Structure 1
């Protein structure tokens, strides 16, 4: 059953990525940028990706918590032992800047724990996927034409995470390109005093979590607001790679389908 769910999530992510790229690569496209209640941007690409993913996940009969969907009341949602947590376009700011650092995020959460994750990077055609029983993987050069392949087929061509020879030099910290808070900067200074010289790299969206999962970064501290759909897919992937996302006590993992969907500050390591 989990293999079928992973296959469905991968298909949904690849097809949504195609829909996003159709807009992103059109020089005449109007992103039709709107502003949500929290002043974050929303584009037509977010909406189309959401619609595509909902069409695909509907066949599973598992409820969906999506950034762009209607938020179900917690009195109902708290009874969901299993649910999809979706960000149809993570890194909308990066999409608008046209820097390629945006992703499609789909996670399956069971009893508050992300057990299956898919992250697709449409511009680089890179797919990350995981499920607790098989581990975490990365495959490059993949697009919607591979949407019909099974996870087993993909695993034959993919690299297991963490990568055996990750390209790192010294202690590597990955941080947000758009949301580097003073508290995060203070934590980075603490790491500098502990490790001496550190390398700080910046990137957008859930790619930061993927960097830790694959081993190209050692740690990702985030002392700034995020929502559950920002982290759930990456959390599943980093868990399956042998790491985790912890609260700032560095012991307690993040939990999902809370009444308040805002994540506490966290550290990926």
Structure 2
């Protein structure tokens, strides 16, 4: 479980990184590409720098998408780690559709026990933690600024935010959320099978970790990710969804998702909203 003294540090890091991202977003920014041909901007780099600097105060090691070259022999010995995506949804950032996030998760023994996701354009913050539940805070930029002292413990989050899920979940149609920029044929096939078993299915595209947030809120029943993702893409959303009553499991085995693996690539997975069962292997 997260040390409550770290809550304001993490949320302040999210908000400050979000401010830096928006400065670049509102400019005529340049786009370069990483070795895997994924886009990289100054916003990714600035957000990484800010978050790494803030999290240093916790004395817990950080594994970030923009600082991923830490040998497994070293990180396998970590009891705790911060798993960070300083700008999740860079493709959405480049498209300027607003569907990008800042993701910070605390991982213990291969499990995400705390997650924070900040949506800079909307100024919305999602937070979830083991034994504490999950919450959505609107206008978070005003109340979670670094050093504000207004969000220092779980009770503050409960007082300022809305507990998730706050939608009971639409009775019908079955609502499935999927990637806006990385939709695979396997997901399309998955949705077609759901139509056979459940009738009408509403498919909602979304970018970044917002897909997990939609399930956590209860606005979507399912998020099938039958395609590649990395650990930092989903750890924060996993913690938020799970502590809002959702289930996150491996598509092929029904087993739990594990973090800080030697290979940081995730297996395909399913996120099921609170009270919903899809009939996949995880049932």
Give the TM-score normalised by structure 1: 0.95
Runs of 5+ consecutive residues of structure 2 not aligned to the other structure: 273-283
Matches of 1:208 and 1:2, distance apart in 2 = 27
Q: 1:241 corresponds to which residue?
A: 244
Matches of 1:136 and 1:171, distance apart in 2 = 23
Runs of 5+ consecutive residues of structure 1 not aligned to the other structure: none
> Paired residue for 2:76, among 71, 78, 91?
78
Q: 1:101 corresponds to which residue?
A: 99
> Paired residue for 2:205, among 193, 202, 221?
202
Q: 1:158 corresponds to which residue?
A: 161
Matches of 1:224 and 1:78, distance apart in 2 = 25
Matches of 2:236 and 2:206, distance apart in 1 = 17
Report the secondary structure of 1:143's partner residue: helix
Matches of 2:9 and 2:171, distance apart in 1 = 33
**How many aligned residue pairs are there?**
266
Matches of 1:122 and 1:228, distance apart in 2 = 21
Following superposition of structure 1 onto structure 2, how do residues 223-234 of structure 1 map, counting pairs within 5 Å? Answer: 223-234=226-237
Q: 1:133 corresponds to which residue?
A: 131
Following superposition of structure 1 onto structure 2, how do residues 1-269 of structure 1 map, counting pairs within 5 Å? Answer: 2-25=3-26, 29-143=27-141, 146-147=144-145, 148=148, 149-150=150-151, 151=153, 152-165=155-168, 169-249=172-252, 251-269=254-272
Matches of 2:205 and 2:171, distance apart in 1 = 14
Residues 4-34 of structure 1: per-residue CA shift (max 9 Å, x gap): 2222211110111111111212xxx232211
Contact 1:244 1:253 in 2 (8 A): no
Report the secondary structure of 1:257's partner residue: coil
- Structure 1 pair 168–139 and aligned structure 2 pair: CA distance change class (3 A): farther
Contact 2:167 2:219 in 1 (8 A): no
User: Runs (4+) of structure 1 moved beyond 6 Å?
Assistant: none
